[in-house]
Amino acid sequence: MSKEEATLREIIITISDYKKEMKSKLVYIFAFIIFFSAISATYAYFKKDKYSAVLSFVVEDQSSSSSLSAYSGIASQFGMDLGGLTSTTFSQNNVIELLKSRKVIESALNNEYELNGKSDLLINHYIEINSLRENWEETEELKGLLFGNKGTIIHDSISGQIWSSIIENKLIIESQTDDASILNLTYTSLSGEYAKYFTESLIAEMSEMYTHYQTEKSRKSLSQLESRLDSVFIELKSAERQYAEIKDENQRVIKASGRLKELQAFRQVEVLNTMYIEIIKHTELAKMTLLNQTPIIQIIDKPILPINKTKKSLEVWLIIGAFLGFCISTFLIIIKKLFRDTLQEEQI
């Protein structure tokens, strides 16, 4: 008999021995299966229901119409910056990370909604829904802690812990499919209403951040133009008044040298009038640019009440418990036999 045949024969014998050992311990295996199934069923019975609100949205690439691009080019010739018409900061991957950022989530938690007949900040609703105050009873500084107008180091610490818990256990942002650019924002909570309100609040805060960032240059340009427009208008009114007074004084003057001031005043009025018209054009262009900023987030589907439960059925938990009991009992039987065989070999 060759060495390979001997090794194969030993493997077959070993497998056969373990099968016999398993058959002899069937009662032991079934006891484990029943025990873990009972634990799983008990856990499923007392486990609180959870609700997952799903909000679908799409992140659009910032693009502008050809007309706005042309206007922007014309404005740049006059030294005016109407704001960037393209942006790479808010790409799809960056939006996913920004939605999980502490700044956006805390801003969403500080929005007020009515839940169970009580209007309060979402962060206060979160504390109540997750029964966090029960764990704070022994800490004097945390008793009766509420979020509102005032903010302390303790408030900042608690909000940081809540943010960490949300992004680790409750918030999922993923692509709907591999090919599509649609994203699903899923938030899981013990309250269906809270899950809905939080997802909507989170998207709203993200959109507001984008709008503020994307239109910052346009808003500054518009503010500068409007300020300049007011000052030129005041100068124009003053120049027109001065021109009218000089013209009245020169009604009886025949020589051209006597009308020099009148000509100078008229030229000043014309210059200011031209400046005023041009600034009006650029002001209207800046307003149009500001109004045509495309929002980066377009909501496709919002969660609708009532939110469906995500609790696993009793049958599923029984299967999980039975499988776990079988695996653990089998593992223990194998380890026990392996240990016993090793001792026997050593005695021999």
pLDDT for the residue numbered 90: 55
Which ranges constitute the DSSP H helices of the chain?
Answer: 3-24, 26-46, 66-77, 92-99, 102-109, 122-129, 153-165, 192-214, 216-249, 260-291, 314-347
Checking if the pLDDT of 68 tops 50, the result is: no
* Sequential DSSP letters for 123-160: HHHHHHHTTGGGGTTT-GGGTT---SS---HHHHHHHH
The closest of 55, 61, 58, 56 to 91, measured between CA atoms, is 61
pLDDT for the residue numbered 22: 79
pLDDT tier at 176 (50, 70, 90 boundaries)? confident
pTM for this structure? 0.62
pLDDT for the residue numbered 95: 80
Q: What's the token pair of residue 87?
A: 């942006």
What number is the average pLDDT over the span 140-147?
Answer: 81
What number is the average pLDDT over the span 198-223?
Answer: 81
| % the chain with pLDDT above 90 | 17
- Classify each residue of 106-133 as buried b or exposed e, where b means 16 or more C-beta atoms within 10 Å of its C-beta: bbbbbbebebeeeebbbbbbbbbbbebe
Mean pLDDT of the chain: 79
Digit-coded pLDDT (tens) for 268-327: 889 989 888 888 888 888 777 766 665 567 888 899 888 888 766 677 878 888 889 889
Q: What's the token pair of residue 1?
A: 């008999």
Q: Is the peptide bond before 306 cis (omega within 30 degrees of 0)?
A: yes
Domain positions in the chain are 3-47+312-347, 51-65+85-215+297-301, 218-291
Q: Which of 96-100, 191-195, 329-333 has the highest mean pLDDT?
A: 191-195
Checking if the pLDDT of 199 tops 80, the result is: yes
pLDDT for the residue numbered 200: 93
pLDDT for the residue numbered 224: 82
pLDDT tier at 345 (50, 70, 90 boundaries)? low
Digit-coded pLDDT (tens) for 5-38: 557 666 676 777 777 877 888 888 888 888 888 8
What number is the average pLDDT over the span 175-185?
Answer: 78
